[in-house]
Every structure is written in structure tokens, then in C-alpha cells.
Amino acid sequence: MADWRVIEGGVTAPKGFRAAGIAAGLKPSGAPDLALIVSDTAAIAAGVFTTSQVRAACVDYCQQHLEARAAAQAILVNAGQANACTGPQGWQDAVTSAETLAQTLGIAVESVLVASTGVIGQPLNMAALTAGIPPLVAALSGTGSDAAAQAIVTTDLVPKSIALELEMDDRPVRVGGIAKGSGMIHPNMATLLAFVTCDATVSPPLWQAMLRRAADRSFNQITVDGDTSTNDSLLALANGQSRAVAITEPGPAADRLEAMLTAVCAHLAKAIARDGEGATCLLEVTATGAPDDAAARLVARTIAGSALTKAAIFGRDPNWGRIAAAAGRAGVPFELKNLRVQLGNFVLMEQGQPLPFDRAAASAYLKQASAGEYLKTDTVTIHVAIGSGPGQGTAWGCDLSYDYVRINAEYTT
């Protein structure tokens, strides 16, 4: 059982962090579009990024930064322009953004990470961005997480935020996070933009390893449309301000912190999947009986990403054949006689054979899920067993609706 609890505050819940979000004029709509997260002291930094060969300048900038120095103090995020496929000027704009923020905060430029989201091929509106940095810094607050979360969204319907706390050495240790993502979501790293803060003291290699594993169990297990972004970035800062004993090697303390970090990432990942463009429900797929956890995660992810399965769920059609077919093409060997498929409480297939079930009731289950209140009761669950192995894994997605096509057909027009 988890030994942490949910608290308020998002990325400003951990001690020593402030955040802000303002409208700087980067979005034509006039909505908030510039966010900042700052640690009061230098922090250990880790990151996981898109594996796409077509990457935004901010991705390359942050990767090079973290390879040279696993530390940072501030993260600047803009929405409106992705600064991807923008050539040498895009790189220079990322550098200038970091330099301008560093000068305003009075810290070294090496302490600044940057991230962008928006339309690919559009360079940053540098006049608006640089003019927005002084008021953004002035707006920094210990309660500014919600404003920052709102400022990074694009087609999202709602911002995503969470904070958790547990006791270590009789001291509260906290992890908080915010994220954005709704479309162009498919795991090839992480996917999306996500930012995590923590007030524990952790060695840099251990913090990076924790974040990579957390991403594999959360952001790398979500899919909306099968498209990976050019800007995918997951950045995490740990500043040690909790004053709990430093975690420098694997062990029980590291395991507890990693479990809480993973829970934060999983919450944000599920929120992104549920907020998929045009989605009416969250899809949670669990695979068991695989040779290992990685194989199980692959099976679950393949089913969650199946366009035919997603369309059937939107149509409230308990078409288990699409689920079985997706499991079969995941690339994990298994024998058909061992396949079991369950939708909610309805067992549709057992030992590779179809079972009689109440189709009307199963369809009603799907309809009830689609009518659920956002992020509360609107989850469709699928459980697939492929054998008797120890591996298990879960993936999250959403249904595929008519609105997904409409939203993306009109995205730049």
C-alpha cells in the first residue's frame, strides 16, 4: 500500500520552489503562454526526451545541458510556437531565451532549462517572449503552480497537476508535477511536456535512473493518436530542501522515493490520455502473464494504441476481436490457447475461445464510462492475459471520436 498522501500545490508543493504563468502575447488568443519554475537553490536535474530525429531546438539545448551538467535552477516554458524545424535561428532563440532569463534572475545561464510547445515550423516570437520575462519573474510565487500549468497548455481542455508527500527521517518529502498534452501523443520517450519538482537530496545518476524508469511506467505507456511530438520533454529538479538524509545509492529509501515519483508521473500521464483530443473516456489496459514486465507493457500499449479498438470503444461496441488482434501483433510471442480478454467485468474470451456474454450490458458499460465525470468515473478497463509468466504492465489511452479529426483538421486554419 502506498505510504504517501495527495497534497495541494503542484510543482510548488516541494520546499523551495516557486512558479508563475502569464500571458506574454505568444498565443494569438491572448491566453496564458509563458511559464516559469524556479528553485531557490541549485537543484539536481534529470531529463527524458523525444527519440524523434526531428526535434525542437529546446530538446537539443536541454539534452546538451544535462549531459554537461546534471544541475539546474530554473525551467522556462513557452506555448504558442514549438521552435521545431526552425534552423540555426531556432537554436539561437533557445539560447537567447535562457540568457535573458538568467540575467533577470541573477543566476548562471547554465542553470536554465527551456521547453516549447505549439505549431511546428513556427519560430519563437522573441519580442514577446523577452518582454514577458521580467513580469514573469515578478509573478513568481509559492502558490504559482496552477498559473504555470495553465500557461503551458495548447489544445488541452484542462491543465494537469499533482503533488504527493511522504515521511522520511521524520521529515516531509514531496514530489510535485505539472504537464501538458492532448494530441500528438504516443510513447517514444516520454511524450508531451512534463515538469517535476522534488525537495529530496538525490545523487544525479540515481535521480536520472529513477526518472527514466518512472517514464517507462507512465508517459511511455500512454497513447492518443500514434503521433510522437518533436518537443517531448520530461524535466525533473530535486533541490534537497526537505533536509532529509541524502539518497545516494539504491535501497529502501530510494525505492520509496522512486515509487512516489512514478505515481506523480502516472497521474499526469493518465490525465493526458483522458484529455486526448476529442476523447470521451479514458482507456486503461492491463496485460498479465507475459515473460517480463517490458513485454507486458508492450502488449498493453499496443492494445491502447489500436485505432480499431479505440473506434469500437467510441461506438460502444464490445468488439473483443479487435483487442485480441492487437495483442497478437504486439510482437510478444504467446499461444492463442492461453489468451484471455476481459472488458470491465465481462469475460469475452477464455483459453483462446470466445465466450457468450451479454452484449447489450457490455455496450451499456461503455456508454456509462463515456458519460462519467472528467477523470473520475469515465474509465474503460481491459484486461488481457497471454500466459502464466510473471510479467505485467498497464497502458492508458482514450477512444477515437469524430472530434479528433475535426480538431486536427482545423489546427492551423
What are the cell numbers at 405? Answer: 479529426
> Which residues lie below 8 Å from residue 356, measured CB to CB, with a gap of 6+?
none
Best CA proximity match to 96, nearest among 125, 66, 119, 130 = 130
Specify the CATH number for 5-274; select among 3.30.9.10, 3.60.70.12, 3.40.50.720, 1.10.10.10: 3.60.70.12
* Amino acid 335: pLDDT: 96
The domain limits of the chain are: 5-274, 282-409
Domain 282-409 architecture: Roll (3.10)
Cα 327 from chain centre = 24
* Amino acid 374: pLDDT: 42
What are the cell numbers at 162? Answer: 499533482
* Amino acid 370: pLDDT: 62
What are the cell numbers at 76? Answer: 522556462
> Which residues lie below 8 Å from residue 345, measured CB to CB, with a gap of 6+?
365
* Portion of the chain with pLDDT greater than 90, in percent: 77
What's the chain's average pLDDT?
A: 91
CA–CA separation, 10 and 147 (whole Å): 10
CA–CA separation, 48 and 70 (whole Å): 12
Cβ atoms of 74 and 112 within 8 Å: the answer is yes
The catalytic position among 117, 191, 197, 280 is 191
DSSP 249: S
pTM value surpassing 0.75: yes
Best CA proximity match to 75, nearest among 201, 237, 264 = 237
Cα 267 from chain centre = 8
What are the cell numbers at 123? Answer: 519560430
* Amino acid 188: pLDDT: 57
Question: Quick check: is 191 catalytic?
Answer: yes
Q: Exposure of 85 by Cβ count < 10 A (0-12 exposed, 13-18 middle, 19+ buried)?
A: middle
All residue ranges of the chain with pLDDT < 50 are 373-376, 413
* Span 151-209, pLDDT tens digits: 999 877 788 999 999 999 899 999 999 999 765 555 555 557 999 999 999 999 999 99
